Amino acid sequence: MNLKIIISGGGTGGHIYPAIAIANAIKEINNEIEILFVGAEGRMEMEKVPEAGYEIIGLPISGIQRRLTLENLSFPIKLIKSLWKASTVISDFKPNAVVGVGGYASGPIMWRAQSRKIPTIIQEQNGYAGLTNKILGGRASKICVAYPDMGYYFPKDLIEFTGNPVRQDITDLSDKKEEGFKQWGFSSDRKVAFIFGGSLGALTLNESMANGVQKLLDQNIQVIWQTGKYYFEKYNQLFGNRKNEGLHVVPFVKDMANVYAISDVVVARAGALSISELCLAGLPTILVPSPNVAEDHQTKNANALVYVDAAILVKDVEARDVLIDEVLALANDDKKREELSTQILKLAKPNAAKDIAQNIITAAEAHYKRMN
């Protein structure tokens, strides 16, 4: 059975890395399956996917700006060209299933696949369904979601609660504690707070830390502060020579497992992949959703956890005034941290990539048998 699968979407790391994880899981189940990625020309998937060892074809599609711009005038032309190219890709590759991970790049190829009765599988990372996925959801074969109660956006009989694919080295952190404390030069008898806002950084989190990091140090709390590369130079100049006090200011953390292993309190934005990792790690978490994302979906991601007492939410507009006090309160409340850890672990889906991959393969096999 020579199965062929297209994985489409991208635009951000939040779409691309789950897509690659799903492709890897498909290959682990059946290495003979052919996989082709379809993305948007000029976007980061055109670089990241080949780096992961997969072929990718770019469509000339772009998103619609939420404000009136000249760029929106070219959208209909780009859409028509992308639909035409998507048809060509499907005719040439002859997929048995097409997967959409979100982002406008998945729209044309998924639409064409559905019009040809090829099974389509949607992977929705957020607690709020994206526009492309909502449009395509009604005709999908399966919709793999990362949050419960997504029936508001999709037909309930098509939904499967699989979780988001994330790195697997954070499923068991207990054996990484000793290495983590040694790596960061921290004392194991002092609490550790880890603050991160993504690879580029988050202005609100950085300004909140600048306002009150000394307060944390004065309370004997050790701090790992990931500024993001955009803000690192500024905050490293202001706070970077404090390692002897238990403060590390870094642009980016590569070895997240070791940091998670020693963290007592985590402060993060509410991106889908960050939340999925924190669920898997089972860490007491304060979420500060970014207000600068489509449809305010980070707040919806965070509320899905807050609703079941699995995280604490601090609004972006309030963070500069209250975030440090929230960190202190949680660091000093053993019972609350244990409660949050217990509840967030209940949302963990360690086999997400494999479960999604199996749904895709099952749909592809059914199509193959129907066509042969």
Task: Determine the average pLDDT of the residues in 210-239.
Answer: 94
Per the annotation, where are the binding residues?
12-14, 126, 167, 199, 298
The verdict on 152 and 293 lying in the same domain is no
Residue 119 near residue 101 (C-beta atoms within 8 A): no
How far is C-alpha 174 from the chain's CA centre? 24
Q: How confident is the model at residue 57 (pLDDT cuts 50, 70, 90)?
A: very high
Look at strands 222-226 and 34-40 and give their pairing: unpaired
Q: What is the pLDDT of residues 323-348, one digit of tens each?
A: 999 999 999 999 999 999 999 999 99
Judge contact between 352 and 162, C-beta under 8 A. yes
> What pLDDT was estimated at residue 66?
53
Structural domain count, the chain: 2
Shared domain for 137 and 209, answered yes or no, is no
The pLDDT, as a whole number, for residue 172 is 77
* Residue 310 confidence (pLDDT) above 70: yes
- Check residue 75 and give its pLDDT: 67
**In terms of pLDDT, which residue wins out, 299 or 240?**
299
CATH of the domain at 72: 3.40.50.2000
pLDDT at 326: 98
Give CA–CA dist 146/144, Å, rounded: 7
pLDDT digits (tens, 9 = 90+) for 115-131: 999 999 999 988 888 78
pLDDT at 200 over 80: no
Domain that holds residue 295: 168-345
Look at phi and psi of residue 119 and say left if phi exceeds 0, alpha if psi is from -120 to 50, else beta.
Answer: beta
What would the pLDDT profile of 233-242 be if each residue is shown by its tens digit?
Answer: 999 999 988 8
The predicted-structure confidence for 259-283, as pLDDT tens digits, reads as follows: 999 999 999 999 988 999 999 999 9
70/89 same-domain check:
yes
Q: Which amino acid is at 345?
A: L
pLDDT at 71 over 70: no
Is the pLDDT confidence value at 35 over 80?
yes
Residues 190 and 328 in one domain: yes
In 65-221, at which residue ranges do the beta strands (DSSP E only) sit? 97-100, 120-124, 142-145, 159-161, 192-196
Place of tokens 């307060």: 215
φ, ψ at 256 (rounded to 5°): -65, -30
Considering the domain architecture, whether residues 133 and 251 belong to the same structural domain is answered as no
Residue 72: pLDDT band with limits 50, 70, 90: low
At 18 the three-state DSSP class reads helix
Report pLDDT for 170.
81
pLDDT of res. 70:
58
Token output for 308: 């079941």
Known binding site for UDP-N-acetyl-alpha-D-glucosamine: residues?
12-14, 126, 167, 199, 298
Q: What is the pLDDT of residue 295?
A: 75
Same domain, 226 and 124: no
139 and 216 in a single domain? The answer is no
151 vs 360, more confident: 360
| Same domain, residue pair 178 and 297 | yes
- pLDDT exceeds 80 at position 74: no
- 96 and 152 within one domain: yes
- Identify the three-state secondary structure at position 77: helix
Residue 362: its pLDDT value, please?
97
What average pLDDT does the chain have?
91
Among 17-31, 285-299, 331-345, 354-368, name the one with the lowest average pLDDT. 285-299
Q: Is residue 309 located within the same domain as residue 188? A: yes
The answer on 149 and 177 residing in a single domain is no
Q: What is the mean pLDDT of residues 190-196?
A: 97
Residues 230 and 331 in one domain: yes
161-170 residue pLDDT tens: 999 998 777 8
Q: Which of 12-26, 184-198, 349-363 is predicted least confidently?
A: 12-26
Q: In the numeric block, which tokens belong to residue 329?
A: 């309160």
